[in-house]
Chains A and B, each alone.
Chain A
């Protein structure tokens, strides 16, 4: 019973490179979310998905792309990484009106 997992857990990359963060959940939850956590800002929503093939922007979507071809996966891609995207990224999932459960997070450093 893995729940929700994220990979990689740690990533160092360089400015301008494309990076993909993976998120996988085993509960068949319909909703999935990507947040970033920065000091002084708490958690901010990047993108979310209400179901497979349905995604929408959150509070801070610029520079990110998501897809959801399968219910259980929700990858987040930084098309051309910038230093301002250095952060801790959390994936979460929930049923329609239920509690969101979070993955362990990915620490991303953009040099």
Chain B
């Protein structure tokens, strides 16, 4: 079974600086997707970034980028020029690419337990 581990329960960053959130995962599959979701105090789950395992190029979305190391099974999130609005819980998640149309659990997301990010003004 796949697992996702976020080893940093809490992180803190100064406004305008850069912070990196760590995520490691365990899988025997070669084709999968990785995600970072943000959950602000409103509790809404917001997709931050997505990475396909078959792509070597690291995904980027404005100030958010990932460092995807497939061999090491590592998927860290870098937030540049941190803003007060970035303060939230961040969840790393894994999804198999082997989703079956007629059932099967491969389409499910497997989440880490989250990292709480604080941004200091």
Report A's interface with B, CB cutoff 8 A.
Answer: 30-31, 33, 37, 40-45, 48, 50-51, 54, 56, 58, 88, 90, 92, 94, 96-97, 99-102, 104-105, 107
Contact = CB atoms under 8 A, between A and B. Distances in A.
Nearest to B96: A97
26 contacts: A33-B108, A33-B109, A41-B113, A42-B91, A42-B111, A42-B114, A43-B45, A45-B109, A48-B107, A50-B101, A50-B104, A51-B101, A51-B102, A54-B102, A54-B103, A92-B45, A92-B109, A96-B99, A96-B107, A97-B33, A97-B97, A97-B99, A101-B47, A102-B37, A102-B46, A107-B43
A90 B45 contact: yes
Given A42-B112, A99-B50, A48 B105 contact: yes
Contacts of A97: 33, 97, 99, 107
Interface of B: 33, 35, 37, 42-47, 50, 91, 95, 97, 99-105, 107-109, 111-114
A10 to B, nearest CB: 11
Contact of B44 (A48, A58, A105): A105
Interface of A is mostly: strand
A31 B107 contact: yes
B113 A42 contact: yes
9 closest pairs, A vs B, by CB? Answer: A102-B45, A42-B113, A43-B111, A42-B111, A105-B43, A56-B103, A45-B108, A50-B103, A31-B107
